[in-house]
């Protein structure tokens, strides 16, 4: 009987392997991008950066066969890289060839547990941009975020104005009744509700027992608790490039060039008319290529890339450009207003195993054939809550995310980059049973900057994240910790013997554990970036001295040049920003086509 059982298991294994290889070889076909052998003399539009926003723009602007579009991307193609589309393998993207690998300048008020007090700031360097390496969490933000934009002079950007573009961008697939007044079901971005372990349901039940409602946070109200929604479909990452570029990959009027690093924008008579760029394997620093535009150059290089290129091209604060002997084209506050979400880790011990299963060969085959199992999960994140730290606040200022397992030291060393010294003196028990809650501060008052380090386009910019310069942000994040504690103390978690790990972080170990002053210290040491940077090319009224682009995303005082990405956000949305970035590009595409036809 044992021999027959073993033989049966072996036969099943062989059949699964055969099915997998048949599927990969004969059924599953990824597209290819059209090879560009020679550039056109002119393009209607040149898009710099093939990330979340650039992918949307390239597809939407090339919908009209008579409009020619060139998309320049510094990184490689996104096709043919399994780790890019396997959700659980997202951490393999960190510090890889698909990562810009930015680091902040050393900080004085935050990041005290990080190597060199520098924040690691990963950004996607491939078609799809950061949508190929983010945590795939799909959250629009709060309606009041966009109404504030409109109140600050961004005409046409209220919640009522942007909602149609959120709807247009998504295909929300849910087993529950969906409110079609708020949700889309025919858009390119496939969005699903993420199914977790029992622990995720316990998180939701704890919130309900505290009086919060379970609701669709991308619907009419954000406050409450819910399963996370993600840009994952049939177990695979649904990046912006996959959603928008793949269907457009063979269009005659869309040229996509990878390995192309733009060095400078070309201006003639106060108008942007093209760009100069290097291409991997084809040019040198002394011999650059040029691309020319009839209508517009559009920067979609991201929160760090777009201000970097503007500064190199002579658009930015006069004093900064003159110090580097860069001729000033326009004196604008480029690189100011940098914002991000700061989060921290609450490690919880349990007396029974509650986490995700270890990934086995069976799970790998299950995933490859059926798209199910732990490999199709974004690192154990399946439920979230948007909460107010004080009842009188107009909107949630804290997000809690549950991670269904402990976080390994190897991960903490890479992202966020905790120093070896701190890790050696701190946690030796991260393999024990437990889970983690991530409190995130959604409306930081602190601001940072992006500046040139040199005039070399290949040098990374100097990024000062500016976290926790404002003491109110420290208190806000501590209130997030207190909210997490309330969840942990509810019966759904108590049944596991859940207790906050009392191992005190080096640097705060002389302070009484769980006192306010201990947590104030803790967040200065272990508050880390959510990788949600925004705001460095601020949108605003044309008369607002703090704005860089107007409400149609045109550079103030410069013709033929727009910025379309997360850098234009006047205030960072109160959520993961990828959905809002894609919305911005959808709306921008309509505005660009309207302006073209006037």
The fraction of the chain above a pLDDT of 90, given in percent, is: 82
DSSP 8-state class, residue 9? H
Give yes or no for residue 49 having a pLDDT over 80. yes
Give yes or no for residue 175 having a pLDDT over 70. yes
- Alpha helices, DSSP H, located in 339-465: 361-370, 409-414, 420-425
Residues annotated in the binding site, as ranges? 262
Banded pLDDT at 359 (limits 50, 70, 90)? confident
Q: Spot the catalytic one: 81, 341, 382, 532.
A: 532
Q: Which of 16-20, 142-146, 251-255, 398-402 has the lowest mean pLDDT?
A: 16-20
Domain borders along the chain are: 1-30, 43-80+241-336+535-597
Spatial neighbors of 316 by CB under 8 A, at least 6 apart, are 307, 310, 331, 332, 333, 334, 335
Give yes or no for residue 313 having a pLDDT over 90. yes
The fraction of the chain above a pLDDT of 70, given in percent, is: 95
Counting every residue written for the chain, the total comes to 598
363 annotated active-site: no
Q: Which of 226-235, 354-363, 507-516, 579-588 has the lowest mean pLDDT?
A: 354-363
**Shortest CA distance to 537 belongs to which of 582, 570, 501, 561?**
570
- CA–CA separation, 315 vs 308, rounded Å? 10
Q: Which residue has the tokens 């949305």?
A: 573
**Shortest CA distance to 572 belongs to which of 366, 337, 390, 398?**
337
Fold (CATH) for 43-80+241-336+535-597: FAD/NAD(P)-binding domain (3.50.50)
Spatial neighbors of 260 by CB under 8 A, at least 6 apart, are 72, 73, 74, 277, 278, 279, 280, 289
Banded pLDDT at 2 (limits 50, 70, 90)? confident
Over residues 519-533, the mean pLDDT reads 98
Banded pLDDT at 27 (limits 50, 70, 90)? very low
- Say if CB 580 and CB 562 are below 8 A apart: no
Give yes or no for residue 266 having a pLDDT over 50. yes
pLDDT score for 20 = 59
**Shortest CA distance to 552 belongs to which of 48, 43, 153, 55?**
153
Provide the mean pLDDT of the chain.
Answer: 94
Written as one string, the DSSP assignment of 297-340 is: EEE--HHHHHHHHHHHTTEE-HHHHHHTTPPPSEE--TT--BB-
Give yes or no for residue 23 having a pLDDT over 60. no
pLDDT score for 425 = 83
pLDDT score for 4 = 74
pLDDT tens for residues 377-423? 887 899 999 999 999 999 999 999 999 988 887 788 888 899 998 98
Over residues 266-283, the mean pLDDT reads 93
Q: Which of 88-97, 301-310, 523-532, 542-551 has the lowest mean pLDDT?
A: 88-97
- CA–CA separation, 450 vs 428, rounded Å? 37
pLDDT tens for residues 538-561? 999 999 999 999 999 999 999 999
DSSP 8-state class, residue 384? E
- Say if CB 479 and CB 389 are below 8 A apart: yes
- CA–CA separation, 355 vs 495, rounded Å? 15
Q: Which of 142-156, 406-420, 476-490 has the lowest mean pLDDT?
A: 406-420
pLDDT tens for residues 65-87? 999 999 999 999 999 999 999 99
- CA–CA separation, 433 vs 498, rounded Å? 10
pLDDT score for 429 = 66
Residue of higher predicted confidence among 341 and 425: 341
Q: Which residue has the tokens 């935050």?
A: 110
- Say if CB 104 and CB 115 are below 8 A apart: no
Give yes or no for residue 487 having a pLDDT over 70. yes
Residues annotated in the binding site for FAD, as ranges? 262
């Amino acid at each position: 009987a044992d021999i027959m059982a073993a033989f049966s298991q072996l036969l099943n294994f062989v059949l699964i392997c055969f099915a997998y290889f048949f599927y990969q070889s004969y059924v599953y076909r990824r597209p290819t991008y059209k090879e560009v052998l020679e550039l056109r003399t002119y393009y209607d539009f040149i898009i710099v950066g093939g990330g979340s926003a650039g992918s949307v723009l390239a597809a939407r602007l090339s919908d009209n066969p008579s409009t020619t579009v060139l998309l320049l991307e510094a990184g490689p193609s996104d096709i043919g890289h399994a780790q890019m589309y396997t959700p659980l393998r997202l951490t393999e993207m960190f510090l890889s060839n698909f990562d810009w690998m930015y680091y902040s300048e050393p900080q004085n008020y935050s990041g005290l547990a990080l190597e060199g007090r520098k924040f690691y700031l990963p950004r996607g360097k491939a078609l799809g941009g950061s949508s190929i390496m983010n945590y795939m969490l799909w959250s629009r933000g709060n309606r009041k975020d966009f109404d504030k934009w409109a109140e600050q002079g961004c005409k046409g950007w209220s919640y009522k104005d942007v909602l149609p573009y959120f709807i247009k961008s998504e295909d929300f697939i849910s087993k529950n009744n969906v409110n079609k007044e708020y949700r889309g079901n025919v858009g390119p971005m496939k969005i699903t509700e993420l199914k977790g372990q029992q622990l995720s349901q316990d998180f939701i039940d704890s919130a309900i027992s505290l009086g919060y409602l379970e609701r669709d946070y991308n619907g009419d109200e954000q406050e409450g608790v819910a399963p996370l929604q993600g840009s994952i479909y049939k177990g695979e990452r649904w990046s912006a490039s996959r959603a928008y570029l793949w269907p457009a990959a063979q269009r005659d009027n869309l040229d996509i060039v990878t390995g192309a690093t733009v060095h400078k924008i070309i201006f003639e008579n106060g108008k942007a008319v093209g760009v100069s760029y290097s291409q991997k394997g084809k040019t040198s620093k002394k011999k650059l290529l040029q691309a020319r535009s009839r209508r517009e150059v559009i920067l979609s290089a991201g929160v760090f890339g777009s201000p970097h290129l503007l500064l190199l091209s002579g658009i930015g604060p006069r004093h900064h450009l003159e110090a580097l002997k860069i001729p000033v084209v326009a004196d604008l506050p480029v690189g100011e207003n940098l914002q991000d979400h700061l989060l921290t880790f609450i490690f919880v011990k349990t007396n029974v195993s509650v986490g995700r299963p270890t990934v086995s060969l069976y799970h790998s085959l299950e995933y490859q054939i059926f798209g199910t199992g732990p490999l199709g999960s974004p690192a154990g994140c399946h439920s979230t809550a948007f909460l107010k730290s004080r009842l009188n606040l107009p909107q949630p200022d804290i997000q809690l995310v549950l991670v269904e397992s402990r976080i390994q030291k190897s991960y903490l060393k890479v992202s966020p980059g905790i120093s070896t010294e701190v890790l050696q003196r701190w946690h030796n028990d991260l393999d024990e049973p437990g889970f983690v809650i991530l409190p995130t501060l959604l409306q930081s008052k602190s601001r940072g900057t992006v500046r040139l380090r040199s005039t070399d386009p290949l040098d990374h910019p100097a990024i000062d994240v500016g976290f926790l310069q404002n003491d109110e942000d420290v208190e806000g994040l501590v209130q997030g910790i207190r909210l997490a504690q309330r969840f942990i103390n509810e019966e759904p978690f108590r049944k596991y013997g859940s207790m906050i790990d009392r191992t005190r972080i080096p640097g705060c170990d002389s302070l009484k554990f769980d006192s306010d002053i201990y947590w104030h210290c803790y967040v200065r040491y272990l508050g880390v970036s959510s990788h949600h940077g925004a705001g460095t090319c601020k949108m605003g009224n044309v008369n607002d001295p703090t704005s860089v682009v107007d409400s149609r995303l045109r550079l103030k005082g410069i013709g033929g040049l727009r910025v379309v990405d997360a850098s234009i956000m006047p205030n960072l949305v109160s959520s993961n920003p990828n959905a809002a970035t894609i919305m911005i590009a959808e709306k921008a595409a309509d505005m660009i086509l309207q302006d073209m036809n006037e």
